[in-house]
Amino acid sequence: MAGSAFLEAFAVLMRILRCISFALLVVLVWPTGSHATRIKDLGYFLGVRPNPLIGYGLIVGLQGTGDSAASLFATRSLAGLLSKLGIVVDPNQLKVTNVAAVMVTAELPPFARIGNTLDVTVSSIGDSGNLQGGTLLATPLLGVDGEVFALAQGAVSIGGFSASTGQGDRVQQNHPTVGRIPGGALVERELAFELKNRSSIRLILRDKDFTTAARTALELNRKIGPGTAHATDAGTIEIAIPDAVQQDPVPFLARVEQVEVQPDRSAAVVLNERTGTVVMGTDVRVSAVAIAHGNLVVRISTRTSVSQPSAFAEVGTTVTFDNEEIVVQEQGSNLALVQGVTIGELVRALNAIGASPRDLIAILQAMKVAGALHADLKII
């Protein structure tokens, strides 16, 4: 009896240990939520994106800072505009300095409706040096298909100023040849995109990664429902919309956006040689490598000396000459052994041998060539 009780107790203990081991394995393998990101921050639904608009227009009312006669944009455009209003003018006879030709740009957001307003940016394309105080005349904004989607007009704000005197003195704040018109365009045409009666929709990841795509589909199936999503490639997740919500899919898509996923990323090191900036991810790994670091300093100095004859000499003149002195110093070179470390340990090891950010750039490039840096090295 005692032996059988002992065996039963041992079996129960082994089952408990197996459960604990499985739980620990899940904790170690399953992505933690400490760095989770919402799906709406990882990607967007296919078709739900802004569209660029562009147009050509005239800004009037400038205080002598418009395009000069040498710029043909403004004069010819003004003559064409006046002819449409019933005033025929020879473009060669126009000499105005309060008109500037500009390119007008805006973004048409998804689901924009007729009558919605858009912010507009105007940029001088002639030789106008200041758009301050100008007013943009009615300008059609075109899409990539050449169709008019909005109409822009309004007073231009440059967010600064520019003032000058006849003597050449000038004071300027911000960039006076580019301005904004908040709410300066009215939407005249809508982009057709219908959410109703769709059986599925595609989620497009901004950063393409197979691991992130698989985790996204896994989290959607776990939190929304089995069979909701599957990844078709590294940047696309196909999401099935249930029949019951196809007439009103907005709440369903809102739930999808709020699902949190821990994105994965490839190891990368970004170097900016102009500023000495080094940015490294925590996933960077380094193989065993020995690093030597030393600086060679060459200092050249010139000292002027004077040579003159003795006090009682009857001949000779006083002359000056330069003595050049060259000093070469090599700072102590240290050898550091780095192996199997994380990026934090790598930085500490390089700091220990006195590496500055610019030295670190050269060291990392050499480590990449040596095959000891396991990361994508990007130089910007």
The answer to whether the beta carbons of residues 293 and 355 sit under 8 Å apart is yes
SS3 154: strand
pTM for this predicted structure? 0.65
Q: What is the mean pLDDT of residues 284-302?
A: 60
Pairing of the two strands 289-293 and 334-338: antiparallel
Q: 3-state DSSP helix/strand/coil percent for the chain, to nearest 5? A: 25, 35, 40
The tens digit of pLDDT for each residue in 113-140 reads: 999 999 999 999 988 888 988 999 999 9
pLDDT at 28 exceeding the cut of 60: no
The tens digit of pLDDT for each residue in 339-366 reads: 555 666 666 666 666 667 777 777 788 8
In the chain, the N- to C-terminal Cα span, in Å, equals 76
Confidence label for 20 from pLDDT (cuts 50, 70 and 90): very low
Between these two residues, 154 and 176, which has the higher pLDDT value?
A: 154
Short-list 367, 328, 315, CA closest to 346: 367
Confidence label for 305 from pLDDT (cuts 50, 70 and 90): low
The tens digit of pLDDT for each residue in 75-85 reads: 788 888 888 88
The tens digit of pLDDT for each residue in 68-108 reads: 877 777 878 888 888 888 888 777 777 788 899 999 999 99
- The backbone region for 371, taken as left when phi is positive above 0, alpha when psi lies in -120 to 50, beta otherwise, is left
pLDDT at 171 exceeding the cut of 50: yes
Confidence label for 319 from pLDDT (cuts 50, 70 and 90): low
Q: Where are the domains of the chain?
A: 51-187, 194-261, 269-306+318-379
